[in-house]
Amino acid sequence: MAFEAPRDDTWLATIMAETDRAKEAFGIEIAELERGRAVLTMTVTDAMVNGFGITHGGLVFTLADTAFAYACNEDANATVASGADITFAKPTRAGQTLTATAERRWKRGRNGIYDVTIVDETGETVAEFRGRSFTTNQAAPSGPGGPA
């Protein structure tokens, strides 16, 4: 069962948990959530594999980027990616469960760096992701795609 974070208007990640339709579309679940850290899981489906029968790299990136988003949205203002990169270490296949653990490494002012490790169900590293964040002066949207 997925973790349910109680809504906190001073912590945007808890609002995102209610309005994040991309997370739902990919079957991504929040396992743990705290300010500056998030653990998310995703089971790889047949629709997520490429022509080689391995998980599409863009979907591994999507899981990592989503965990990054939850970790870096630590206050009431929207924090977005200013850049990110990923290194793929091991292929996975349909039926496997991936876990992304995102953790704050550095934050000063409106900028931050967050590392995300993605592992398979055996704990082997699948990919390493580093995201750079920028905190805007925008409040949380009122709903999916809606204005603040």
- The CATH number of whichever domain residue 98 belongs to comes to 3.10.129.10
Beta-carbon contacts of 29 under 8 Å, excluding residues fewer than 6 positions away, are 2, 3, 23, 40, 41, 42
- What's the whole-number average pLDDT of the chain? 93
Is 127 within the bounds of a domain?
Answer: yes
Tell me: pLDDT of 148 over 70.
Answer: no
Is residue 56 in some structural domain?
A: yes
Model pLDDT for residues 95-126, shown as the tens digit of each residue: 999 999 999 999 999 999 999 999 999 999 99
Q: Rounded distance, CA 54 to CA 65, Å?
A: 19
DSSP secondary structure of 54-89: SB-HHHHHHHHHHHHHHHH--SSEEEEEEEEEEEE-
User: 99 forms bridges with which residues in the sheet?
Assistant: 41, 119
Q: Is residue 3 one of the residues assigned to a domain?
A: no
What is the pLDDT at residue 64?
98
The answer to whether residue 101 is domain-embedded is yes
List pLDDT tens digits, range 14-41: 999 999 999 999 999 999 999 999 999 9
pLDDT at residue 1 is higher than 90: no
* Banded pLDDT at 147 (limits 50, 70, 90): very low
Query: Which of the four pLDDT bands, split at 50, 70 and 90, describes residue 141?
Result: low
**Count of domains forming the chain:** 1
Helices (H), the chain: 12-19, 21-25, 57-72
Does residue 111 form part of some domain? yes
Q: Give domain status of residue 6, yes or no.
A: no
7 belongs to a structural domain: no
Question: What pLDDT sits at residue 142?
Answer: 64
Whether the per-residue pLDDT at 2 is higher than 90: the answer is no
- Model confidence at 139, in pLDDT bands (50, 70, 90)? confident
- Range of the structural domain that residue 97 is part of: 12-139
**146 falls within a domain:** no
